[in-house]
Chain A
């Protein structure tokens, strides 16, 4: 009785400590969200204002004054096709890595993982001039293709793990029944790993949504995505903090909601790679 009470007390303190740390940890973000509803003077106030009457002027300015929907559309026109294309190319490859034996398999696998570590800023000069000479500068298709560099290896890495978690016997039975490898992948393996693969797809979407370096250099007026627009609010004379925060609020919300929805798989997907090594 006494011992269980002690454990109970210990747990309560533990939760209290964790919640306190979580609050401090997320305070910068919480403060940003609340600041998005502040008027211009309140944003700069010192000491910071914690309680105030919310105003929507920043949101109105960002959404209607700065053509937010146009940039949002660009982001989606890049992120969605890229996610689909990545899956089409990477899922069969992941299946092959998970199920077959072939020459230098693990070396090829590692090579893929290392290639995607190439720094974006190091390839930007080459991409910039190639894009211009091919007439692809400032187009959606350019970024859809370039993001493949990071997204394909990542997807193969993760999805291979999901596929290897599925027992081979199920496919073998289907193969004996005359099912081809490809239809075994589509009809048996994919349905069994659909949650993991969808979580990976959402993650790819988040990556494309957040990407800054490449679109910052490779787009101008036509294909510029949302992630690079915050910089617009920094003029030489003034930075419009209220608007940046409003834009920040809008643009960080979808990834956070997605991440929380696929919470279980998200943790597994992101941690998986590092753990498997």
Chain B
């Protein structure tokens, strides 16, 4: 019944799936397993440093604690996250677009310059973060330039300015992504509508605003969402620069998770927050899917 032919037939039929299977199972296990474990621990009172056997089932208490006032920093942290993400994503978007447009104008050597501009992207985030931490100290590099230009010095490590400082540092690290994508996109745009507009006497600014940018619209949308997800996820930069401080002035969600789970040692509540962060990412992903469906239909 099971002749060798049968197996070769089976193999042939499912060959594509067999090739994909190891990759998909590996990734699925690595994501689904911690998800279920977080879901489980979110119903337990479990102290960091003690074994799982000492965890105690508490039902929805952790959720109640996080969302209804027990964790007084949660909503503060949420606000900070929103401000940080918007500032970082929009900031790096405009900086990246500006530099990419400039590079696209170069008659040659644009790609060489691009690879130098994206250096901040390949530097270790931990090193880059610490570097900015020193530059933002009162007698640091940033204040040196601020003082030369405006004759004042800013205390970046104060509650008012720390989040701005963190965002500025993050723009330096994340703008290269936009430079890279927009430079590649701008150089691969079809030239005929641009040439036509130029012949008609349109200024370079009009061409950029009315022809090039509308053509880049789908890419702009996708990259903005991807960077938003990236900004929500990133832990290393906020951690090594300000570590959430001073006080809780830069305690974005990723830092808050670390604080609750490993400093306050509440793994249950930490799991609730972890799941909440994942939920935010899922919401952003669904925005992306809707957009993709749109572009598939048209």
Contacts and interface: CB of A to CB of B under 8 A. Distances in A.
Contact of B233 (A95, A119, A255): A119
B111 A263 contact: yes
B71 interface: no
Contacts of B222: 274, 277
Interface stretch (A65-73, A149-157, A170-178): A149-157
B102 A17 contact: yes
A153 B209 CA distance: 35
A267 interface: yes
B141 A122 contact: no
A124 B106 CA distance: 45
Interface stretch (B58-66, B159-167, B176-184, B190-198): B176-184
A5 to B, nearest CB: 15
Contact of A267 (B30, B35, B183, B277): B183
Interface centre among B20, B114, B119 (most CB of A within 10 A): B20
Contacts of B185: 271, 275
Contacts of B181: 270-271, 274-275
Interface string A222-239: 000001101100100001
B232 to A, nearest CB: 7
Nearest to A259: B122
A146 interface: yes
A118 B184 contact: no
A251 interface: yes
A188 to B, nearest CB: 16
A115 B28 CA distance: 8
Interface in A124-148: 124-127, 129-130, 133, 145-146, 148
Interface residues of B, number: 86
B215 to A, nearest CB: 12
Interface stretch (A44-52, A54-62, A76-84, A193-201): A44-52
A210 B124 contact: yes
A231 B26 contact: no
Contacts of B26: 89, 148-149, 152
Interface string A210-227: 101100110000000001
A260 to B, nearest CB: 6
Given A29-B119, A97-B20, A123 B31 contact: yes
A256 B122 contact: yes
Given A32-B131, A117-B281, A251-B124, A125 B261 contact: yes
Interface residues of A, number: 93
Nearest to B271: A125
B125 A212 contact: yes
A21 B98 CA distance: 11
B275 A122 contact: yes
Interface centre among B30, B181, B226, B254 (most CB of A within 10 A): B30
B10 to A, nearest CB: 14
A248 B127 contact: yes
Contacts of B223: 274
A120 interface: yes
A47 B115 contact: no
B116 interface: yes
B92 interface: no
Given A32-B131, A117-B229, A259 B126 contact: no
Given A31-B141, A119-B281, A125 B124 contact: no
8 contacts: A89-B22, A93-B22, A96-B16, A101-B16, A124-B261, A125-B274, A244-B134, A275-B184
Give the 9 A-B residue pairs with the shortest CB-CB distance, closest first: A126-B34, A100-B16, A271-B184, A46-B139, A96-B19, A93-B23, A119-B233, A122-B274, A248-B127
Given A122-B257, A260-B115, A275-B219, 4 more contacts: A125-B41, A156-B23, A244-B134, A275-B188
